[in-house]
Amino acid sequence: MSRFQLSLNVDDVDASVEFYTKLFGVEPAKHRAGYANFVVEDPPMKLIVIENEGTPGSINHVGIEHETGDQVATETERVAAAGLPVEVDDPHTCCFATQEKAWTQDADGVSWEIYTVTEHTPNFGASPRGNTPLDLLLPPVTGDELRTALSDTTTVVIDAQGDGGFEKQHIAGALNFGLTDVETQAAAAISTKDQRVILYCTDADCLGAEFIGTQLVDAGYTNVGRFPGGIESWAAAGGCIDASPVASTPADSTP
């Protein structure tokens, strides 16, 4: 069964969840910081509410959700044959799900998506319309979560300070990533696109984690977070700091 989708820009997701739970009589299917969606059976509709992507109270976009990728392809071909402008997206992660989709736009600039969900993911991903809030794109992790991750061999912790920062000081157990050829480094250091990855930089004002993390999300990595306070916060909390130049990514290693 296909269903209509309405995505709204809101000021406060939690307040919106309270209102729409009462309005529709159902709990949200997903409720995360800054984001929630409702799957309503009668009438068949998916409602999305999201903070900080546009003026509160305005429409973010609308669309039709289908059950399969074949249905998306059929509808996309029909819309294109009717003479409407169509933009086909490569499968990617957005709104805590991996999706196959295409877009069209009405005469007033309202975006419509034709899509299906192929799997659900722990991270938001990147909105193809842009302006994804940083805390949705790269969810912050706490010091305790980072400490646990450093002892977990399935998690990759990345130092994103850039040139010279890692050699000066880094969190013990982290990998050194340069600020160029990020996808090449990622392919060598991260086993799968859904492996857990945590990035950090020097301090709260350093943008290295945001810079590298955004490229990872754009490349299809679906479980990327960041430790916002960086080394400064880690050291202040008594975390272990190393100054020995080890643990570089294979792409950065010298022969």
Radius of gyration from C-alpha coordinates of the chain: 20
Given this model, what pLDDT does residue 7 score?
Answer: 93
Given this model, what pLDDT does residue 220 score?
Answer: 84
Given this model, what pLDDT does residue 22 score?
Answer: 96
What are the tens digits of pLDDT across the range 116-129? 988 787 777 666 65
**Shared domain check, 148 and 96:** no
Boundary-marking domain end, from 89, 108, 133: 133
- Cα gap 93→119, rounded to integer Å: 9
**What is the extent of the structural domain holding 52?**
3-133
- Cα gap 243→165, rounded to integer Å: 10
Percent of the chain residues past pLDDT 70, beyond the cut = 91
Structural domain count of the chain? 2
**Which CATH number characterizes residue 31's domain?**
3.10.180.10
Measured CA distances, 148 to 141, 144, 153, 247 (Å):
11, 6, 10, 18
**Which CATH number characterizes residue 245's domain?**
3.40.250.10
Given this model, what pLDDT does residue 128 score?
Answer: 60
C-alpha triplet 79, 85, 90: angle, nearest 5°? 85
Mean pLDDT (the chain) is 87
Percent of the chain residues past pLDDT 90, beyond the cut = 57
Q: Quickly state the pLDDT bin for 255 (edges 50, 70, 90).
A: very low
**Shared domain check, 218 and 108:** no
**Shared domain check, 126 and 10:** yes
Task: Detail the DSSP E strand segments found in the chain.
Answer: 3-10, 30-32, 35-40, 45-51, 59-65, 87-93, 97-105, 111-120, 155-159, 170-171, 175-176, 196-200, 224-227, 241-242
For residue 221, give both structure tokens. Answer: 């990595």
What are the tens digits of pLDDT across the range 23-37? 999 999 999 888 999
Contact 157, 219 (CB under 8 A): no
**Shared domain check, 33 and 143:** no
**Shared domain check, 205 and 248:** yes
Residue 253 has pLDDT above 90, yes or no: no
Residue 47 has pLDDT above 90, yes or no: yes
Given this model, what pLDDT does residue 39 score?
Answer: 94
Boundary-marking domain end, from 133, 161, 184: 133
In 3D space, the residue among 37, 50, 212 whose CA is nearest the CA of residue 138 turns out to be 212
Q: State the first-to-last Cα distance of the chain, in angstroms, to the nearest integer.
A: 56
In DSSP terms, 51 is beta-bridged to 10
Boundary-marking domain end, from 113, 133, 153: 133
Q: Quickly state the pLDDT bin for 244 (edges 50, 70, 90).
A: low
What are the tens digits of pLDDT across the range 76-111? 999 999 999 998 877 667 777 778 889 999 998 888
**Shared domain check, 152 and 128:** no
What are the tens digits of pLDDT across the range 219-239? 888 899 999 999 999 999 888
Given this model, what pLDDT does residue 45 score?
Answer: 94
**Shared domain check, 142 and 129:** no
**Shared domain check, 104 and 159:** no
> How many residues appear in the chain?
255
Residue 40's region, left for phi above 0, alpha for psi from -120 to 50, else beta, is beta
**Shared domain check, 128 and 9:** yes
**Shared domain check, 206 and 146:** yes
Contact 159, 255 (CB under 8 A): no
Given this model, what pLDDT does residue 127 score?
Answer: 67
**Shared domain check, 92 and 52:** yes
- Cα gap 212→195, rounded to integer Å: 16
**Shared domain check, 103 and 45:** yes
Residue 251 has pLDDT above 50, yes or no: no
SS3 content of the chain, % helix, strand, coil (to 5): 25, 30, 40
